[in-house]
Structures are given as structure tokens and as C-alpha cells.
Structure 1
Amino acid sequence: MSVPEFSGAGTTIGGKNSRKNTDVLSLDYCTFRIPCEELRVKFKNGQKDLDKAAANVARAAELLTKKTSGANQPVPQETLRKNFDFLLNQVQEARKALENILEGEIGETSKIIQRCERLHEEFEVDEKTHPRQQDRMERQKFARYICWHLLRCGMIEPARELAKQMNLESLIDISVFEKIYEVEQALHAHDTKPCIEWCQYHQSRLRQIKSRMEVVARQQEIITLIEQGNIPEAVAYVKKYLVPIAKANFSDDLRKTMGAIAMPLEESRVRNPDFHDEKRYEKCAEFFIKEAYRLYQIPDVSALSVIVQMGLSAQKTPICEPDHKTPLSEQTCVVCRPDVWPLAEGLPYAHVDNARILCSFNGTVCNDDENIPYLFPSGHVIGLQAINTLKRDDNKIWDPIMKKEIEETEILRLYFM
């Protein structure tokens, strides 16, 4: 009975069925989610700016109306000109704000359209009819995954250079991760101002997901004032900044902060050790990264990590273990490499309905008919076709793995279940 050829069905990467739209889009989530979120933020902030500009125009128009209506005496021309110029200036400011808002929203919309067209182009390319174009698309796709991974690691410049070389600038939101990285580094430097500005820019979305990010950032400023002994300023800071954002949804944080202000510093260190932790800014930076990813709905694991884990899991077997004896250039199992094993150690074993056993000597497929598999003392499987070429005199066989002759009785035949 011959072993059916492995079809690759069900795989996300590799195999003839790997080009399903759902498979690709599941890995390209960041490609679409980030510009959609940026468009939503710009739309919300644009509405606020337009409302503010419209209020300024209405106020200027009302002021001009008061000067002209109901006047018993002629209004001086200079006064009218001054008020009219003020009204005209407010109208121009409103028009400029509208143009900026439209420009930003059109830019994000164009990104989404361009990326949809790019992925549609990848779906349409066929390996048989356009092999070169398909190879180029595959390279760019995996370069895109590498760029996303580099950005998540804070390696902005390498990601920018790779995106430039592979013509991926329109598909990668480098500026978003660059801003996140800047805020993270500022928090490590005990500077909360960039983080607070970021929170205010994304205020609407952060409230929607009930994020504590701004509360935590404000708390760091308050704790610093407490440790400096500046209690009056700490109380004023709480009233001005913390109460408006924490009173409704984060009352526990507010009470804990006020308690730290009220009690002596040494007592606060005992009751609130997390407030006075030496690494509180580092923890704040870690919390910021989690909240930023939650805001953009970025998965905890990058697409590149998913691909690597899938590939290692597909190759992993129960007998895999780190091989420190065989040189790296001669190792045939990628999972057993000492430099790869830490990544594969916690992954599940491979499971396929129709498996194939390959000869370790010549790479041919073993079966129960023409190429029966045999297990050598070294743990490698070699097919009958290769064994016929490795036979020696006196019922001995040359072991190509151990580089020595062994008895025929030392090899065991394997059977397919």
C-alpha cells in the first residue's frame, strides 16, 4: 500500500491551499487595523476641532452683530473693520481646520484602499502563470511580517530601511510604532508628558475601552510630588487632573492616591509598596505598551512569531531534543538545533492525518512496498533503496550517520499503522 502524498490542506503557510484570503488576512491584521483606528481617531478629533472652530465663528459674528444692530449713532468705520477682520480671520481658521481634517482622513482612507488593492493583487497572482511575480510577492509579504516584528521590538530604523528596500512604505505604519517607542523611552526616563499627550489624543478610544493608562501616568507625577514632600501641589494636581478622569470609573485608584497623600511617607511606603517601587516607571512603560496594543487591537504575538511557531511545530516530534554533538552544518532536524530548541520546546508536536517518512540518507519517501523504512542505532530512519547501496560483506551495513559498520541485526524494520 502506497502512502498518499501529503496535500498540505489545512495549513496557513505552505501547501496549495495556503493562499486562502482568510489565511492571509489573519496574518495581515495590523495592515488594516491600525489605519482604521487612526481614521477613527482623526474623525473624532476632527469633529471636536470643527465644533470649536464653528463656536469661534459664531462668537465673532455675534460680536459684529452687536456692534451694528440697534445703534443710534453711526458706527465708526475702524470699529467695523476691526470686528469684520476678526470674523474673517475666524472663518479662515475654520476653513483651514476643515482642510487639515479632510486631508488627514483622506490620507488614512487612501492607505486602506491601497492596501486592499495590494492584497487583492497578491491573491490574483498564480504560481503557474506568473512564477516570477509570485516569488516577488512572497518575498515582499514575508518582509512585511519581518517589518511588523521589528517595529514591535522597538527597532524602528532597521524596519524603516527594510520597508524602503522592499517598497513597503505604504503598507507599514512606522510612524505609529515610532510614537509608541518614543513614549516608552520617555517613561523609562521618568518623563510622563509624552504619555499624557498620547492619552489625550486617543482620549475617546481609551474611555471606550476603559483604559487606566492616563490615571497610571498621572499617578507617577503625584507620587513624585509626595516623595518630594510637596503635599499642597500634589493635592492641587489631584483636583485638577486626576479627579475628572478617575472619579467615575477608577474611584479605587483615586482613593488609594488620596490615601498616599494623607498618610506619612514612611507609612505609605509600607501600605503602597507598588507606588514607591524603584521600577515603577519601567512597569508604567510595560503597561503603556499593553494598552497601546489593546487600543489598536494588535495581537500579543506578531505574524512572524506565528509563522515560526507553526513551522517548528509542524516539524516537532516526541523524540526531538537539543543536539549538542552534531555540528550545525550537518544537522538535518531544524527543531533539534541548539539555537532553535528554546523556541520549539514549549510548542505542541506535529499532527497530520497522512504522514510521510523520509530516508535520512537520500531523502526519498519510505513505504511498505519498494522503499521499506529501517531504524538504525543512531535513531535515523533509512529506506531499503539506500540500504542496498550501503551493504558490505559479511552481513554488515555501513551507517552513514555514525560513520561505522554495523550488523544487519542491529537495524529494525518499521511498519506503517
Structure 2
Amino acid sequence: MSATKLNADGILLLEQPFARVPYENYRKVFRATQRNIERELGNVQTVSNDLLKRSKSREVNLEDAAKSIDGMIGRVENLKRKLSELQDTAGKPTLDVTRERLQHLTAVEALQTTGSLDFSRWADTRLDRWLVDWALRAGREKTARKLAQDKNMETLVDIDLFTDIRRIEVALSRHSCTEALAWCSENKTALRKIKSTLEFELRLQEYIELARAQKKQEAMAYSQKHLASWQETHLPQIMQVSMLLAVEPSTKCGRYRRLYDNSRWANLIQAFRLAIYNLNSLPTEPLLNLALYSGLASLKLPSCCNDSRNADCPVCDPSINILAEEVPYSHHANSTIVCRISGKIMDEDNMPMAFPNGNVYSREALEDMAAKHSGMVTCPLTGNQCQFSELKKVFIS
């Protein structure tokens, strides 16, 4: 197959999550660092201002001042230790991952054609990354880890992220919002920017569970503490769930029965998954599926959807035909006919030749076959044999 010029921009279209995930991880490290600095240095600044004020009024005691200064030194040393631990355990590893991923993406820009050995290696690594992504989304974490280890590409895949996703989803499936709410707290600013209501939905569900257990006092206290702040934007929903305190879980009333329905937990899992994918620029479909969709869309024809399946057509392959059902037909302004034997285009210089059974191949391929077998040619699909002279010319219109 002849090499074609490499379209680096097209290749990088699906790679945004590849660079975005470590970036988001480092943002979390940065925010944690910022919080520690503001808290510790804020206390140091407060004590320092107090000492300065007391010294001006000559009310300061030297022994108390020395203790205050020792306390400030202790806070600064504690801050230094925390920041050092944070950098060693999360900051530096995240930066190393970011560097390796950017180097992996930059390597594509130096390649010229798709036929080069370096591009084949890069494409193989990309396929392995997509397989790990698919396995992680399907809940096959052991398979994903094994593949990543065998290919020595742990830094190029997001196993830790999907492990966290899986952990929180399992907790939700067990009717616990604790882990999901902790995640919302860590990402409160980012969720606010995308206008996510995930935290409200989780709080609402915890209130519903208190109502289900007939813990009315706890439910009212919970509403005052966690739902009151959402009244400006979600007052109708809050008023509706408030009525659950007067409605039994066995109610036949549709609007309240839906609130008590356990299917809400499945909806929460979907909402959480959508939110975390959104924050990390992850597509809702596996990257492997998206790549297959694009390839199938360029090949799919109306003939692929009838009973006459082509054994050599990826769209007709039973293993991936279910994906092909979701993509549109391809649009070709100029059709081409390719020989199944040689892979060459059939045109006026390499005319199609038809067997008596109707199967068509290129003249060049059949002439070469006849020269090697004393004028006999064999249909690769059916095994039928005949003399080259029995073939009929097919004219392209």
C-alpha cells in the first residue's frame, strides 16, 4: 500500500482528553497547594499583625511574643512539609505524565507519511491506548492494567481516573452519596463553571432516603442545612420533595412514587459520569468506538444492510456491524472499483473481467494468474475454475 501524507491535525482531533486529564490532575494539586498556603500563611499574618499592634501599644510580653513567633515558625515549617509531600506524591508524578504525553503527541508532527515505520509504531501505541480506554469503561480494570504493563505505557493511560470513577459509581449503586459528594466538593468551582446540578441531585437523593426511612426531624434539619442554599434555582423541586415527609414510600401517587423510585440511583450514576467526563474532556463513547464509527461511515453502503453480506467488507462483519448501524451511509462523488485480488483500482487501463458466476476481478490480476496456471483462473471467493478465454469484459459506465 502506498504511503500518503500524514494529516497531523486530523490525527490529533481525538487526542484532547489525552493531554487534558493530567492537566486537570495538576490543577487539583495547584488548588490544594493554594489552600494550604492561604490557610497557614493567613494564620501567620494574623498573629504577626496582632504582635505588631501590641508592640506599638507596649502591651506585648516578651515571653508571649517568643511563643507566638515559635508558633509562626512551626506553621511555616509545617506548611513546607505539606507542600513537599504534596509535590512528591502528586505534583511531580503528574508533571512527568504530562511531559511524556506531550512528547508522545509531538512525535506525530515530525512524521511525514503514514507508511513510515515510526508512524506504524506510534499508531500501534495509540491503538493499545484505545483498547485500555475501552477496557476501563467496560469495568475490566485488571485487563486494562495488564495491557498497560505489558506495553509499558502506564503513563499514557488514565487507569487511576477510571478507578476513581468506578469506586464512586459502585458507591452510588449501593445507595451511598458520600463519595460522590466528596468529589463534588473537590471540584466545586469547575462544576459551577459548567453549570452542573450534580451536587443538588445528590443532596436531594439523601433527603429522599431520610424521608424513606421516616426520619422526619433529620430530614428537616438536612433540608435546612443543604437544600436551602439551592432555593433560588430549584425551589419547585425542593417544595416537591418536602411533601415526602407526609407521603409514605408505598404511595400510589405518580409524582411522589417517582421520587421514591430506586431508578433515580441509576440516573445519578449517569449524571456523575457525564460530569466527570465533561471536566476531563472525555467523550461519552470509548475512543475505540469513535475511531471505528469514522472508518465505518466512510465505507458503509446501502448494500451493506441487506442479506448479501460481503466477507471482505468491515461494515458487513458481524462483530462490528452493530456499530455500523449507527453511522450514516458514505457519500462518494466518484465511485471506484477495487480488485479483491490485487487491491488495484479497475478502470479503462485495467478492465474488470467477470467469471461465469458473476464475480468480477481486474484483468491484470487474472492475466497474471492465468500465466502461472496454464491459462486457468480460479475465483478466490467460490473456488470455481475456468479458462481465461471464458471470462467476459465488464464495461464501467
Q: TM-score range by the shorter chain?
A: 0.7 to 0.9
Trace 1:307-386 onto structure 2 (pairs within 5 A): 307-321=291-305, 331-360=311-340, 363-374=343-354, 380-384=359-363
CA distance in 2, matches of 1:249, 1:41: 28
Distance 1:157 1:376, change over 3 A: farther
CA contact (8 A) 1:37 1:296 kept: yes
CA contact (8 A) 2:351 2:394 kept: no
Report the 3-state secondary structure (helix = DSSP H, G, I; strand = E; otherwise coil) of the residue aligned with 2:303.
coil
The answer as to 2:7 corresponding to 1:20 is yes
Report the 3-state secondary structure (helix = DSSP H, G, I; strand = E; otherwise coil) of the residue aligned with 1:28.
helix
Report the 3-state secondary structure (helix = DSSP H, G, I; strand = E; otherwise coil) of the residue aligned with 1:187.
helix
Matched residue, 2:181: 196
CA contact (8 A) 1:67 1:80 kept: no
User: Which amino acid letter does the alignment assign opposite residue 100 of structure 2?
Assistant: Q
Report the 3-state secondary structure (helix = DSSP H, G, I; strand = E; otherwise coil) of the residue aligned with 2:196.
coil
User: Which amino acid letter does the alignment assign opposite residue 211 of structure 2?
Assistant: I
TM-score under structure 2 length normalisation: 0.82
CA distance in 1, matches of 2:253, 2:34: 44
Within the candidate set 205, 209, 221, 2:194 is matched to 209
Matched residue, 1:226: 211
Pick which of 299-308 and 288-297 moved more.
299-308
Matched residue, 1:91: 76
Shift of residue 294 of structure 1?
A: 1.6
- How many residues are matched? 389
Trace 1:128-277 onto structure 2 (pairs within 5 A): 131-244=116-229, 246-263=230-247, 265-266=249-250, 270-277=254-261
CA distance in 2, matches of 1:301, 1:145: 11
Distance 1:413 1:371, change over 3 A: closer
Distance 1:52 1:261, change over 3 A: farther
CA distance in 1, matches of 2:309, 2:107: 47
Unaligned runs of at least 5 residues, structure 1: 1-5, 8-14, 391-395
User: Which amino acid letter does the alignment assign opposite residue 196 of structure 2?
Assistant: S
Richer in helix (by share) = 2
TM-score under structure 1 length normalisation: 0.79
Matched residue, 2:373: none
Shift of residue 171 of structure 1?
A: 2.3
Report the 3-state secondary structure (helix = DSSP H, G, I; strand = E; otherwise coil) of the residue aligned with 2:304.
coil
CA contact (8 A) 2:251 2:257 kept: no
CA distance in 2, matches of 1:324, 1:111: 49
CA contact (8 A) 1:317 1:350 kept: yes
Identity of counterpart residues, as a percentage?
24
Report the 3-state secondary structure (helix = DSSP H, G, I; strand = E; otherwise coil) of the residue aligned with 2:313.
coil
CA distance in 2, matches of 1:213, 1:242: 13
Residue by residue over 1:175-194, the C-alpha shift from the partner in whole angstroms, topping out at 9 and shown as x without a partner, is: 12211111111111112111
The answer as to 2:45 corresponding to 1:58 is yes
CA distance in 1, matches of 2:385, 2:149: 55
CA contact (8 A) 1:376 1:382 kept: no
Within the candidate set 88, 92, 98, 1:112 is matched to 98
